[in-house]
């Protein structure tokens, strides 16, 4: 979730919905806001896209965010982008516990909560954890993230003013969370106001837009290694001929973008580590391998560095493993010649590999050392799961194609926003 992700594990969530004993403040009712004079959403043509510039970087910020307008009149919210969860939520003036922004930057509800009988509320709750007593109850939610952060609140719907690549400007009403009780891990408060959930569940923004006929059920991002990039909803920006695809796992846990099995390759040779199940998670700054894969790749990197003018240092706490050169490194480009490329070779797709240059698994710290951006997931409770974080997704267009149940990537210039 949002926050200082340098100390964060990842944003992969269980989307746990709990019954709440508290009654939400009286300002909510079942009534909808008055309709605006905007063009009907049905006037749009299927297959268009919405594109948003991104802000942030892997290091030192540790997050990528997008500015989204919500409401009428529209108000801007900076949200953490997260393909590891479904629910979009914003800090809510209702009143709020754990909100990090002044009241004027919070979302103000306007008698627009979802009732328990709403199909989105029904889809979002599992039968075992459904807190609703009657269909007329308000639709409460609680989402818990693996970094021990959480948001508790009520589901609402409101206008999302969007500009589409076919020239139309529409304001569809989308459901999201109005979070009035947040908890954040670590000592620092988050710079963002919430999270935009881009997973493949029915509650995600992309799924809602697809059901309305506004976009295909496709979402993607292009994260620049220089900082920034762009996010897109829909598929008309994708040059499919250049993309390498691997199928989404049919037994994908929850609603995450999972693929595999994959084999870990080091400098073009097999490491013997096979059968890796991978989750692509834009909410994680770094990559997490299970204990076997992590130890194998660390040993290979260390052995390959033996005799080179670069030495491991325990003085730099930026990441668990760092090296110092004869003089401080200014960029990964200064250090990359000491390191070999990695790759993930997908068993279920012929000749498909996610090629990973040293830039895709290293950072240069503020101390001028080069640090290993792959961490041991088994040490933080991931067990056998492997998380592909932002560091391995840089300078590539990533496409999560829910229409065809596949994940794709292609090299891209993420510094340039696509033309509409």
User: Does the pLDDT value for residue 70 go beyond 90?
Assistant: yes
Give the whole-number percent of the chain exceeding pLDDT 90: 74
Average pLDDT over the chain reads 87
pLDDT interval class at 160 (50, 70, 90): very high
Q: Averaged over 237-254, what is the pLDDT?
A: 80
pLDDT interval class at 420 (50, 70, 90): low
281 given a catalytic annotation: yes
Could you tell me if 64 and 82 are in contact, meaning their C-beta atoms sit under 8 angstroms apart? Answer: no
pLDDT interval class at 48 (50, 70, 90): confident
Of the segments 182-196, 374-388, 406-420, which one has the largest average pLDDT value?
Answer: 374-388
Q: What is the pTM of this model?
A: 0.89
Cα separation, 335 vs 313, in Å, equals 15
**CATH class, range 50-233:** mainly beta
Tell me whether domains 50-233 and 244-411 share a fold: yes
What digits encode the pLDDT tens for the residues 313-365?
999 999 999 999 999 999 999 999 999 999 999 998 989 999 999 999 999 99
pLDDT at 125: 78
Domain boundaries, the chain: 50-233, 244-411
pLDDT at 77: 98
Q: Averaged over 192-199, what is the pLDDT?
A: 96
Give the whole-number percent of the chain exceeding pLDDT 70: 86
82 given a catalytic annotation: yes
User: Does the pLDDT value for residue 43 go beyond 90?
Assistant: no
User: Does the pLDDT value for residue 289 go beyond 80?
Assistant: yes
What digits encode the pLDDT tens for the residues 210-240?
999 999 999 999 999 999 999 999 998 877 7
Active-site position among 147, 281, 316, 360: 281
pLDDT at 7: 34
Q: Averaged over 255-281, what is the pLDDT?
A: 94
pLDDT: which is higher, 66 or 122: 66
Token match 């299927």: residue?
A: 46
pLDDT at 31: 32
Lowest mean pLDDT among 20-24, 224-228, 237-241, 394-398: 20-24
Could you tell me if 398 and 220 are in contact, meaning their C-beta atoms sit under 8 angstroms apart? Answer: yes
User: Does the pLDDT value for residue 36 go beyond 60?
Assistant: no
pLDDT at 392: 98
Could you tell me if 106 and 192 are in contact, meaning their C-beta atoms sit under 8 angstroms apart? Answer: no
Active-site position among 4, 78, 80, 82: 82
Cα separation, 90 vs 195, in Å, equals 7
Q: Which CATH number fits domain 244-411: 2.10.10.90, 2.40.70.10, 2.40.320.10, 2.60.40.3140?
A: 2.40.70.10
pLDDT at 127: 66
Lowest mean pLDDT among 74-78, 142-146, 402-406: 142-146
């Amino acid at each position: 979730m949002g926050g200082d992700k340098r100390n964060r594990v990842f944003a992969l969530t269980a989307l746990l919905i709990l019954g709440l004993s508290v009654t939400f403040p009286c300002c909510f009712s079942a009534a909808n806001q008055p309709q605006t004079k905007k063009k009907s959403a049905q006037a749009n043509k299927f297959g268009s896209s919405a594109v948003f510039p991104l802000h942030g970087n892997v290091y030192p910020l540790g997050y990528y965010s997008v500015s989204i307008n919500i409401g009428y009149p529209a108000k801007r919210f900076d949200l953490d982008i997260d393909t590891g969860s479904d629910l979009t939520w914003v800090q809510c003036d209702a009143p709020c516990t754990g909100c990090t922004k002044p009241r004027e930057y919070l979302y103000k509800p306007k008698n627009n909560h979802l009732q328990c009988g709403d199909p989105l509320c029904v889809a979002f709750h599992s039968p075992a954890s459904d807190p609703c007593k009657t269909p007329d109850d308000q639709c409460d939610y609680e989402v818990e993230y693996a970094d021990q952060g959480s948001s508790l609140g009520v589901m609402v719907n409101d206008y999302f003013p969007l500009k589409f690549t076919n020239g139309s400007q529409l304001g569809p009403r989308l459901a999201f969370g109005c979070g009035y009780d947040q908890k954040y891990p670590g000592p620092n408060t988050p710079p963002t106001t919430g999270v935009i959930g881009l997973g493949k569940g029915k509650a995600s923004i992309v799924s809602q837009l697809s059901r309305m006929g506004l976009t295909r059920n496709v979402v993607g991002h292009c994260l620049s290694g220089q900082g920034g990039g762009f996010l897109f909803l829909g598929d008309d920006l994708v040059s499919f001929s250049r993309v390498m695809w691997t199928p989404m796992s049919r037994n994908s846990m929850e609603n995450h973008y999972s693929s595999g099995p994959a084999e870990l390759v080091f400098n073009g040779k097999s490491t013997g580590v096979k059968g890796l199940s991978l989750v692509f998670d834009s909410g994680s700054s770094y990559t997490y391998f299970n204990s076997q894969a992590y130890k194998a790749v660390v040993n290979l990197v260390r052995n390959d560095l033996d005799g080179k003018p670069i030495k491991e240092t325990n003085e730099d706490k930026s990441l668990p493993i760092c090296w110092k050169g004869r003089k401080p490194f200014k960029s990964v480009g200064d250090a990359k010649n000491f390191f070999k490329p990695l790759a993930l070779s997908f068993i279920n797709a012929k000749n498909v590999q996610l090629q990973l240059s040293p830039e895709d698994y290293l950072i240069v710290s503020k101390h001028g050392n080069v640090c290993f951006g792959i961490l041991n997931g088994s040490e933080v409770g991931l067990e056998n799961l492997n998380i592909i974080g932002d560091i391995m997704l840089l300078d590539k267009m990533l496409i999560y194609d829910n229409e065809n149940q596949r994940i794709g990537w292609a090299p891209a210039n993420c510094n340039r926003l696509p033309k509409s």
